[in-house]
Amino acid sequence: MNIYTQRLPTDYHPQSEIQSIALNYDTRQKCRFRATLDNGQDIGVDLPRTGVLRGGAFIGTETGEVLQVQAAPEKLLCITANEPFDLLKAAYHLGNRHVPLMLTPTALYLEPDYVLADMVRGLGLTVEEVMHPFEPESGAYAQHQHDNRLRPYHAHH
């Protein structure tokens, strides 16, 4: 069994075709787990505790085997609004409850929680169950790479 013990740099580019594995958010938060590749091969993962494996990340073994991790689609709640400010209000209220939350320009995604779904519906937003990869925000104090969804702030004078 291959044991993946290294997180490869975010700018790593494989020289050849490599295998990938789709994992849900719960598994990608763990630094130690076992999984099975599509070809039936069992693998082990024993990584340093340095944060969540993001979709697209590469991990490696001591012997040079490389695997790409993908964010698997999972059951989530998708919150949308008619007005952007309503989506902002929902993000504020959900953030106050410290739930993992994925932000996009047009929707918020969170793990199924029907108490929170009812609260958000009460604010006038739409909530639907979807299958979607989950990449929640890592938090303002976390050390992480910014992805392309995040734009730098430019002051307008």
Cβ neighbours of 69 (radius 10 Å): 22
Q: Is the C-alpha dihedral spanning 146, 72, 78, 26 positive or negative?
A: negative
pLDDT in tens, 87-142: 999 999 999 999 999 999 999 999 999 999 999 999 999 999 999 999 999 865 55
How many CB atoms are closer than 10 A to CB 71? 21
**43-75 pLDDT, tens per residue?**
999 999 888 999 999 999 999 999 999 999 999
- List CB contacts of 144: < 8 A, sequence separation 6 or more: 51, 138
Category of 95 on φ-ψ map: left (φ > 0), alpha (ψ -120 to 50) or beta: alpha
In CATH, 73-133 is 3.30.360.10: no
Q: Which two tokens stand for residue 2?
A: 């291959």
Q: Would the pTM of this model clear 0.85, i.e. be above it?
A: no
**Which three-class secondary structure state does DSSP give residue 66?**
strand
pLDDT at position 148 is 38
Instruction: Please tell us whether the domain made up of 2-71 is placed in CATH 3.40.50.720.
Output: no
Tell me the sheet residues that pair with 46. 32
The sign one gets for the Cα dihedral 62, 63, 68, 74 is negative
Q: Where are the domains of the chain?
A: 2-71, 73-133
113 C-beta neighbours (distance < 10 Å), count? 14
